[in-house]
Chains A and B, each alone.
Chain A
Amino acid sequence: MQISSGSPFPQNTETSPGVRKVTAEDVNVYYGEKHALKSVCLDVYANEVTALIGPSGCGKSTFLRCLNRMNDLIEGARVVGRITLDGEDIYDSRLDVVQLRARIGMVFQKPNPFPKSIFDNVAYGPRIHGLAQSSGDLEEVVVTSLQRAGLYEEVKDRLGEPGTGLSGGQQQRLCIARAIAVSPEVILMDEPCSALDPIATAKVEELIDELRENYTIVIVTHSMQQAARVSQRTAFFHLGELIEVGDTEQIFTNPQQKLTQGYITGRFG
């Protein structure tokens, strides 16, 4: 993997004392000729929620997808730079991508449960990764995952019913339960609440806050209020560049960069 020459580092005003879980060093992404992400350097700390914000097309989702190599699936996409998980290069050719995605799970914008029962949705990952030795183990994983996702009480009497029959908010929490069933270390969330109503959004946000005790979370959101509510650190992207990253409180009260200030106060974008 080649490393391109570095551009000036973005203003970094973070004070996080935590352990670096994921580190991106000078990451550039190209979609064919288009330079979508430009020399991004960003650390994601363990047991923290890092929010990525910025106007449409700024590269935040592109960056998120680099973190579990989802960009590999896009034809013409080229990722240059170095991304490590606990110091291990995730773009190493010897690395098993399926295993990587079990360690770095993902929740998408639109809830996408499999056309299977609620139970089987959550059991799918543990089954294919061989994480449960017996049917009792499997049931325990499913129940624990549903509990952690705050969904168990609502569905415990109908685990055999199709996941697609749940409400939007429940489906999204089912997808989160499915993601955590394989015991990932990092969970990537790409606008997980954009299709949900305010109550369902509040439940997912509450869940995110609880999940960070055990997982590291990176969330892309268009809602600045959501970034402010759920994250400890916020990174602002603009036109493919990381403009500023810092403690969420500082970004929303006293951003250091004019572009950040302009965006979060609604002066452009």
Chain B
Amino acid sequence: MAGEHTVRSYDEELSHLTNLIARMGGLAEAQLDSAVQALIKRDSDLASKVIAADAKVDEIEHEVHSFTVRLLALRQPVAHDLRMIVGALKISGDLERIADYAANVAKRALVLNQIPPVKPTAAVPRLARLVQEIVKEVLDAFVEQDRDKAVKVWKQDEEVDDMYTSLFRELITYMMEDPRNITACIHLMFIAKNIERIGDHATNIAETIHFLVQGTPIREIRPKGESVLPDPSQISRDN
């Protein structure tokens, strides 16, 4: 929003809130990156660091919550300021979940590091790279308050869904080929699901950014990728 408030401290507070979200986003992004690295490089130390660092993200989320409540109570924001503050509150929730999923990936990486590697481990980083890119883009969209960039991210979720579905099938094939792969493949399946969920939270953030910039929700219907679940309308009730 162009222009400064007559009360300068209000501007400083809003900019502090934006900085908190940017910091939290940076941390969540780094957590995801480290968790994926810990998986690829079978680095248990790095995985442990990711698990421990999750508390830092939670801490910033608490800070965002109390700061938001304070701003609402003391400034009674309206219009763009109000949307910005409520948006920051929502985004902090999504970022906290993103970091949580990253920590979950790290926890499973620790387990996977105890057992021999399986081939599909290589397919997970592809999905992770795409989601990392989406998270980065959505954080840029927030900092730049760029609605178009947010919409672009929002549409990219389709690609994540497709990639996740194909990975899901690949993992099932490996398990069918050799039951000794099941333990590792199940962990990889959950890791893939966690990463896919991170993509969903990035999509939520994109929707929030659109609302806080534009004042209206995204009206388009989001393109949906292929799902691992069958279309309910195609399932016969007799089964």
Q: Which residues from chain A sit less than 8 Å from chain B, CB to CB?
A: 224-225, 228, 252-255, 260-262, 264-269
For B76, what are the chain A residues with a Cβ–Cβ distance below 8 Å?
Answer: 225
CA distance A260 to B3 in the complex (A): 13
Interface of chain A, helix or strand or loop or mixed? Answer: helix
Number of A-B contacts (CB under 8 A): 41
Q: Name the one of B6, B78, B216 contacting A252, with C-beta atoms under 8 angstroms.
A: B78
Least Cβ–Cβ distance between A202 and chain B, in angstroms:
16
- Ordered nearest first, which 4 A-B pairs have the shortest CB separation? A254-B215, A267-B3, A252-B78, A265-B81
With most chain B CB atoms within 10 A of its CB, the pick from A224, A255, A261, A269 is A261
Within 8 A of A (CB), among B51-84: 76-83
Q: Is the CB of B6 within 8 A of A255?
A: no
For A262, what are the chain B residues with a Cβ–Cβ distance below 8 Å?
Answer: 3
Write out, one digit per residue, whether chain B residues 81-93 have a CB within 8 A of any chain A CB (1) or not (0). 1110000000000
For B41, what are the chain A residues with a Cβ–Cβ distance below 8 Å?
Answer: none
Q: Is the CB of B82 within 8 A of A266?
A: no
Q: Name the one of A224, A228, A253, A267 contacting B215, with C-beta atoms under 8 angstroms.
A: A253
B229 at the binding interface (Cβ < 8 Å): no
Q: Is the CB of A253 within 8 A of B6?
A: no
Q: Is the CB of B1 within 8 A of A265?
A: yes
Least Cβ–Cβ distance between B97 and chain A, in angstroms:
26
Q: Is the CB of B7 within 8 A of A253?
A: no
For A261, what are the chain B residues with a Cβ–Cβ distance below 8 Å?
Answer: 1, 79-80
Identify the closest chain B residue to A268 (Cβ): B6
For A265, what are the chain B residues with a Cβ–Cβ distance below 8 Å?
Answer: 1, 5, 77-81
Write out, one digit per residue, whether chain B residues 176-191 have a CB within 8 A of any chain A CB (1) or not (0). 0000000000000000
B220 at the binding interface (Cβ < 8 Å): no
Least Cβ–Cβ distance between B15 and chain A, in angstroms:
14
With most chain A CB atoms within 10 A of its CB, the pick from B6, B79, B80, B82 is B79
What are some 30 contacts across the A-B interface (CB < 8 A)? A224-B78, A225-B76, A228-B78, A252-B78, A252-B79, A253-B78, A253-B79, A253-B82, A254-B79, A254-B215, A254-B216, A261-B1, A261-B79, A261-B80, A262-B3, A265-B1, A265-B5, A265-B77, A265-B78, A265-B79, A265-B80, A266-B6, A266-B7, A266-B10, A267-B3, A267-B4, A267-B5, A267-B6, A268-B6, A269-B6
For B216, what are the chain A residues with a Cβ–Cβ distance below 8 Å?
Answer: 254
For B83, what are the chain A residues with a Cβ–Cβ distance below 8 Å?
Answer: 253-254
CA distance A104 to B81 in the complex (A): 37
Q: Is the CB of B7 within 8 A of A268?
A: no
Write out, one digit per residue, whether chain B residues 202-217 have a CB within 8 A of any chain A CB (1) or not (0). 0000000000000110
Q: Is the CB of B6 within 8 A of A264?
A: no
CA distance A269 to B5 in the complex (A): 10
CA distance A265 to B10 in the complex (A): 10
CA distance A252 to B3 in the complex (A): 18
For B78, what are the chain A residues with a Cβ–Cβ distance below 8 Å?
Answer: 224, 228, 252-253, 264-265
Identify the closest chain B residue to A260 (Cβ): B79
CA distance A228 to B77 in the complex (A): 12
For A269, what are the chain B residues with a Cβ–Cβ distance below 8 Å?
Answer: 6
CA distance A212 to B190 in the complex (A): 58
Least Cβ–Cβ distance between A103 and chain B, in angstroms:
34
Identify the closest chain B residue to A225 (Cβ): B76
For B81, what are the chain A residues with a Cβ–Cβ distance below 8 Å?
Answer: 265
CA distance A265 to B7 in the complex (A): 10
Identify the closest chain B residue to A224 (Cβ): B78
With most chain B CB atoms within 10 A of its CB, the pick from A261, A265, A268 is A265
For B1, what are the chain A residues with a Cβ–Cβ distance below 8 Å?
Answer: 261, 265
Least Cβ–Cβ distance between A52 and chain B, in angstroms:
17
Known: A253-B215, A254-B215. A268 touches B3 (CB 8 A): yes
CA distance A262 to B80 in the complex (A): 10
Least Cβ–Cβ distance between B149 and chain A, in angstroms:
21
CA distance A262 to B6 in the complex (A): 10
